[in-house]
Each structure stands twice: as structure tokens, then as C-alpha cells.
Amino acid sequence: MLSALNSFVALICDRDKYTIPSETLSHSRLVLADTIATIIGGMAEPEIKNLVKSDLPSGSSHILGTNLKSDYLNAAFINGTAGTFLEMDEGNQFARGHPAIHVLPAILSI
């Protein structure tokens, strides 16, 4: 698993091999900012606050919008849940879903 992840990261980081169009980079930044803001917005809801108050294992992964950290599984779960709670996460008609909120919490937790 880690070797596949390392290969993927190496590919993404090797920007000399390809050029990402500026429009794509600009939209990616917007989706990233929107998704993080949606996660932080969801953290203010009582149900999410209760989830965060539960007995979480310690770890090094950030729970966004708080000063707390937990293991990567719980951080990804809580951040993902908070990000969908307000139903304000981005959508993509071509992906027929909300790809950023399903991927970003996991990426941020590792």
C-alpha cells in the first residue's frame, strides 16, 4: 500500500514531466479551499462536536477546526463527516458525486 502511495506522490511531485493547465490549478485551489471551509463549518454543529468529544485515540492527524489530533482513521472519519454534515460540499456533474470530500479527509489524515 505504501509503495503504491509513494509512487503516486512521486508522480504528482514530478511536474517536469507534464504541465498542469493554470485553469486546472486555479479550480483545484478553489475546490481545496471550499472543502476545507466546509469541514470547518461542519465542526461547529452540535452533533459533530459530540463526535469530537468522544474518546478518541491519540495520534498525529489533525481534526480540522480544532486543536485536537487523533489516529488517521478517526481524523479522516470525523473530517469527512463534518464536511458532509451541512451538505455544502462541492459537487461535480461529470463525476456524479462529491469527489473532494470523499478523498481530501483521507489525504489530510496521512
Q: What is the pLDDT of residues 67-97, one digit of tens each?
A: 999 999 999 999 999 999 988 777 666 767 7
Mean pLDDT of the region 22-27: 88
In a domain, 41, yes or no: yes
pLDDT score for 54: 86
In whole angstroms, what is the distance from residue 84 CA to residue 71 CA? Answer: 20
Average pLDDT over the chain, rounded to an integer: 86
In a domain, 22, yes or no: no
Show the cell assigned to 1: 500500500
In whole angstroms, what is the distance from residue 30 CA to residue 49 CA? Answer: 26
In a domain, 99, yes or no: yes
> 43 and 68 in contact (C-beta within 8 Å)?
no
Place of cell 479527509: 105
pLDDT score for 93: 67
> How many domains are there within the chain?
1
Query: Which residues form the domain of 96?
Result: 31-109
> Between 24 and 80, where is the model more confident?
80
In a domain, 85, yes or no: yes
